[in-house]
Amino acid sequence: MNRRNFLFTSLGAGLSAIATPQHIFANPASNLGFRLTDVTNAAGIHFRHNSGAYGGKLLPETLGSGCAFLDYDADGWQDILLVNGMDWPGHKRQRSTLQLYRNNRNGTFTDVTKKAGLDLELYGMGVAAGDYNNDGFPDIFITCVGQSRLFRNTGKGTFVDVTRSSGLFGRQGFSTSALWFDYDRDGLLDLFVCNYVRWSPEHDVFCSLDGTHKSYCTPEAYRGDTCWLFHNRGDGTFEDVTPTSGIFDSSSKSLGVAMLDYDQDGWPDLLVANDTQPNKLYGNLHNGKFRDVAVEAGLAFSTEGKARAGMGVDVGDFENSGKPGIAITNFDNEMIGLYRATKPGVYDDVATLAGIGAASKNTLGFGCLFLDIDLDGKLDLAVANGHIDETVRNIRGNVGYAQPPQLFLNQGSGKFQDVASEAGGGFDTPKVGRGLAYGDFDRDGDLDILITTNNGPAYLYGNEQFTGNGSIRFELKGTKSNRDAIGATVQTFAGDLYQSRMVRGGSSYLSQSELPLTFGLAKRDKIDRVVIDWPSGRTEEYKNLSARKAYKCLEGKGMEPL
Amino acid sequence: MQKAAFSQRSPTNRLLLGLIITLAAVLAYASYITVQLAGLRKLQSEMVDRNRKDSLQLLRIQNDLNSIALAMRDMLDTTEPYPLTAWTAQFERIQQDLDAGLKLEENLAGASRTPDQRKYLTQSVAQFWDAVSRMFALAQTGKEPDAREQIRLSLQARQQALSTAVSRLLVENNEGEEQAAASIAKIYDGVQRQLYLFLAATLIAIVLTSLYLIRANRQLFARLAELSEQRSELAQKLISTQESALRHISRELHDEFGQVLTAIGSMLRRAAKQAGEGSPLHQDLKEVQEIAQSTLNNIRTLSQALHPVLLEEAGLESTLDWYIPTVGRQAGIDLHYEKSGKPFPVETSAGVHIYRVLQEALNNVSRHSGARDAWIRLKYQADSLELEVEDHGTGFVGEKMQRGIGLVAMRERAELIGGTLAITPRPQGGTSVCLQIPREKVESHAA
C-alpha cells in the first residue's frame, strides 16, 4: 500500500469513527484485505464485443466471448487477448476483430492487433493459448462459429494463420472453449476443442416464447456435437484423434473444459461441462485413449440425477488437501456445482453446505475461476454471471439479464461468502458476463481479473492488497516437458500451510488465465520447500524460498528469481 | 349389617373393572393400528417404493434407448465426417449404463415380472447388442454402406421394439402403483373408521363412568346425611334420656333424701332437747344433727347441680343469677356476668339446654383455659337470645375441640333447641363460645 492509500484509508477510518456506525461497514477497506479497481480505461483497454445481433435471434449471439492473459512476446509481462464476434453475412454494419493488447509494463496496454496480424473478422467464441511448437512463444487457437483458427506466434510480435497447414482446416462447428494439454506426455501440446450444438445460420430453428416473435432457442432444439481432440505430431501438423481416442460423443453440447488429474495418476484428464447433457470426465487411460467416468465420479448429473446446463468449469485445490476440487457454473434456477473429492476420483457436490448453492440459485453463471484473491493461502471462487435472454425479467422477476459477478471468499472449513459488493471498483455492477480470466498484469504479486461481456465492453480489475498479505509466484518452463509446462503440478509447504496447483490452460468459459502460478502466503515471509512434478515425470524440489518474489523454473536447470 | 351393605355398594370394584376394560380396549386398538401400519409400510416399501425405483430404472433404460436412437440417427447422417467406428466409445458407454440399469431393474421388478417378459427383454437386448457388434464389425472392415443398411433395417427396428417393451413395463408399473395406491387408501379408510369407532366407544365409556361416579357419589352423600341424622337423633335421645334421668335423680335426692334428712334433723333436735343441755349425749346428738344438716345441704346442692329445680320454678334468668356466682366461687374464677336487652321468659326445656351449654362452657374455662377471668353475656335481642362465654386463657380450640365429647353435646343441645353454636378462638388469645337461638324457639308463652 502506498502512502496516498494509507492516508486515504486512515482518513476514511477516522471519518468513519466519528460518523454513524454503518459507515464502518460501508467502507470496503475495513472488511477485506484487498480492493478491486476498474482500470479498464486507465489501462487503455477499449474493447466492445460484437455479437452481430440484428434481430434474427441466432443462437451464437448469446454466448460470446472469451478472453485470455498470455505473454505473447515472452517479456515476462502478461498481455491481453479479447475475442470478438462479427456481423452476420447480409447484416453488415461494422467491422469488428479480436484485439490483442501488449503490456506496456507501466499499468497500460497498447492495442497491437493490426501489428500482430490478427485484425481479421471472425465469429470468434473462445481462446486457447499454448506454445504448441515449443519455440518459447505462445500460439493462439481461436474457436469460432464455423472454422476455428490456429495462429502461430512468429516470435517477432506477429502471428501467422496456420489453420490450413496444421491440418485443422475443414472442421466446421459451433466451437466454444478449447485448451492445450499434453495428453500423451510426449512434450508436445495437443488441442482439445469443445463444440456446442449442430448449428448453422441455414439450419437455425424458429423458437418463440409468445408464439409470434422469434426468441433464442434452448440447446434442446439442436442436436449435440462431438468435442474434438487433435494430436500434435510435432511437425506443425495435427491429427484428428477424436474417433479413436474415445472422446467422440455426438450427444455432447459442450461449453467449458478444464484439465485435471482426477485420479492423481500423473496423466492429464479432462472435465467437460455440457449444457443440458451429462458432463463428461474423460479419464486418461495412458494409451492415447480416454474413458468417460463422469457418472462413477459423481460429476455427470446433479445430486437429483438431472443433467444440468453446465457452462464454465474450473479446477482447484480449494481445501489445500492435495486433491483438486471442481466448480461448474450452471443455468439460473440451477446452483453452481462445487465438488470436493471425498477420495481420489469420487466427488461430492458441497455447494449448498459451502454457502455457494443458495447464492447462485438465481444467477446464470458462465466464467468461473479458483484464485486466491486476498492471498491468504486459500483459493477463492470468482464467477461471471449474465443471462442469455434480455426479456428474462418479464418471465422471472428476480432474475435479470445483466447480473453482478460474484466473488466467493474462502472462509476456511469449507465455507464461502460472496464479497463482490465489498470488493470495490464497481466489480458487482450487473453485467452480461461471459469470459473470465486472471493474471498479474502489474506484477505486484496478486491476481487481477479480466471479464468480458456479451455485446458489451471488457473489464479489467486491478487488485490491491493492503493488509500486508504476500505471495510467491512460479513461472515454469519445460525442456523435456512441453515448453509451457502445462500439466506440471507444484506443491508448496510453508509451515502449516500446504498448497497445490497445476499449470493449466483452458478452464473458466471460453477463456484462459495466465500460466504462472501464484501461491498466497498471507504474512509468511518464506516457504520451506516447493515440489515440482513435471509432465515428463521429473520431480524437483527447492527449499527456503523468500516470499513476495516471482521465480522462473527451467526444467532440469534450476530456479532463479525474476 | 349396614356396613356390609355399604361396602357392597362401593364403586371401587366397578371402577377398577372399567379401568381394566378401557386399558384392554386401548391395547387392542394400539395393536390394531400397529398391524395396519406394518401392512402399510410393507405395501409402501415393497410395492410403491420398489415400483418407483423400478420405474426410475426403466426411465434410465428408456433414456439409454433414446440415446441409441439419436446416435443411430447421427450415424445415418452422412454430413458427419467421422467413420461409424467413431461411435464405438459412445455405444460402449450407453451399453454399460443400459446393462447396469437392466440389472438393477431386474432385481427391483421381482415377482411382478412374468418369466416370458424377463426372457423377452434379456433376449431382445442381447440380440440388439449382437446386431450392434455385427454393424461395427462391418464398419471396421470398411463396409460402411452395409453397416448403415444394418442400422436402417435391423438396429432401428430392434431399438423401437425394445423401447416399446420398456414403455409397456412402465405402463404396467403405473397400473401397479395405482392398485397399490387404492390398497393404501383402503387401509387408511379402515383405520379411520376404526379410529372413529374407538373414539366413540371411549366417549361412551367416559360418559357412563362419569354417570356412574355421580350416582355413586350421590348415594354416598345421602348415606352420609342419613348417618349424620341418625347420629344426631341418637345424641339428642341420649341427652333427653340423660336430662330426664338427672331430673329424676335430682328430684329423688331433693324429695326423698331431703325429707328423710330433714326428718332425721328434727328428730335429733328433739332427742337432744330430751337429753338435756350440757350432757354428753346432747353434745353427740348435736354433732350428728350438724352432719345430717351438712349432708342435706350437700344433697340439695347436688340435686340443684344435677337439675336445677330453680329453672322450672324461677326461670332461666334467676337460675343463672344463682348459678354463676356459685360456680365462680367453686372454681375460683372471676366471672363477670352481664345482661342486656329486654328480658323475655324462656321455656324450661330450652332453658335446661342453655343452662347445660353454659355449664359445659364454664367447665371448659375452668378445666382447660387456665384463665382467672371469664365474661358471660346474656343478650335478649329482638329476634334471638344470645349467650356468650369468653375467656382470655390459652384457648381450647383445635385438637381438644375435635376430641371433646362435651363440645359435641353442646352442639347437639344447640341444634335440639334450633340454635347455633359458634366456638371461635380470639385473636388476642382465649376462646369465645356463642350460643344463638331464635327467639320464637325459646320464648315461653305460658305467662
Is the backbone of residue B297 left (phi > 0), alpha (psi -120 to 50) or beta?
alpha
Closest by Cα among B353, B319, B349 to B337: B319
More confident of the two residues A482 and A200: A482
Please check whether residue A220 touches B, CB under 8 A.
no
Burial B117-127 (b: 16+ CB within 10 A, else e): eeeebeebbee
Other beta carbons within 10 angstroms of residue A54's beta carbon come to: 14
Contacts (Cβ under 8 Å, ≥6 apart) of B98: B61, B64, B65, B125
Query: What's the pLDDT at A114?
Result: 96
In the predicted structure, residue B10 carries a pLDDT above the cut 90: no
**For A246, which of B74, B89, B97 is closest by C-beta distance?**
B89
- Architecture field, domain B308-442: 2-Layer Sandwich (3.30)
Please check whether residue B83 touches A, CB under 8 A.
yes
**For B85, which of A243, A247, A291 is closest by C-beta distance?**
A243
Is the backbone of residue A426 left (phi > 0), alpha (psi -120 to 50) or beta?
left
Query: CB–CB of A61/A84 below 8 Å?
Result: no
Q: Which residues of B touch A292 (CB under 8 A)?
A: 89, 93
Other beta carbons within 10 angstroms of residue A370's beta carbon come to: 27
Interchain contact, A250 vs B80, CB within 8 Å: yes
The string of pLDDT tens digits covering residues B296-323 is 888 887 887 787 777 888 888 888 888 8
Distance, first Cα to last Cα, chain B: 50
Interface test with B, best of A197, A250, A292 (most B CBs within 10 A): A250
Stretch (H or E) spanning B298: helix B280-306
Please check whether residue B89 touches A, CB under 8 A.
yes
**For B82, which of A243, A292, A295 is closest by C-beta distance?**
A243
* Amino acid type, A318: F
Query: CB–CB of A378/A397 below 8 Å?
Result: no
**How many residues comprise chain A?**
562
**For B86, which of A171, A248, A292 is closest by C-beta distance?**
A248
Dist CA A317 CA A489 (whole Å): 11
Query: What's the pLDDT at A439?
Result: 97
Interchain contact, A171 vs B81, CB within 8 Å: yes
The string of pLDDT tens digits covering residues A130-169 is 999 999 999 999 999 999 999 999 999 999 999 999 999 9
Q: Which residues of A touch B86 (CB under 8 A)?
A: 226, 242-244, 248
Q: Which residues of B touch A246 (CB under 8 A)?
A: 89
Dist CA B121 CA A69 (whole Å): 55
> Which residues share a beta bridge with A292?
A282
Interchain contact, A250 vs B87, CB within 8 Å: yes
Q: What is the DSSP letter of B244?
A: H
How far is Cα of residue B280 from the mean position of the Cα atoms in its chain?
A: 87
Query: CB–CB of A182/A190 below 8 Å?
Result: yes
The string of pLDDT tens digits covering residues B375-434 is 999 999 989 999 999 988 876 655 555 556 678 888 888 888 889 999 888 888 888 899
Interchain contact, A292 vs B89, CB within 8 Å: yes
In the predicted structure, residue B445 carries a pLDDT above the cut 80: no
Annotate A131-156 with DSSP letters as a single string: -TT-SSS-EEEEEEEEE-EEEEE-SS
C-alpha grid cell, residue B141:
472392415
Annotate A207-228 with DSSP letters as a single string: EESSSSSEEPPPGGGS-B---E
**pTM (2 decimals)?**
0.71
Please check whether residue B359 touches A, CB under 8 A.
no
Span A161-182, mean pLDDT? 95
Contacts (Cβ under 8 Å, ≥6 apart) of A408: A355, A356, A359, A380, A381, A382, A383, A416, A417, A418, A419
| Chain B residue nearest residue A289, CA to CA | B89
Please check whether residue A166 touches B, CB under 8 A.
no
Dist CA B318 CA B309 (whole Å): 11
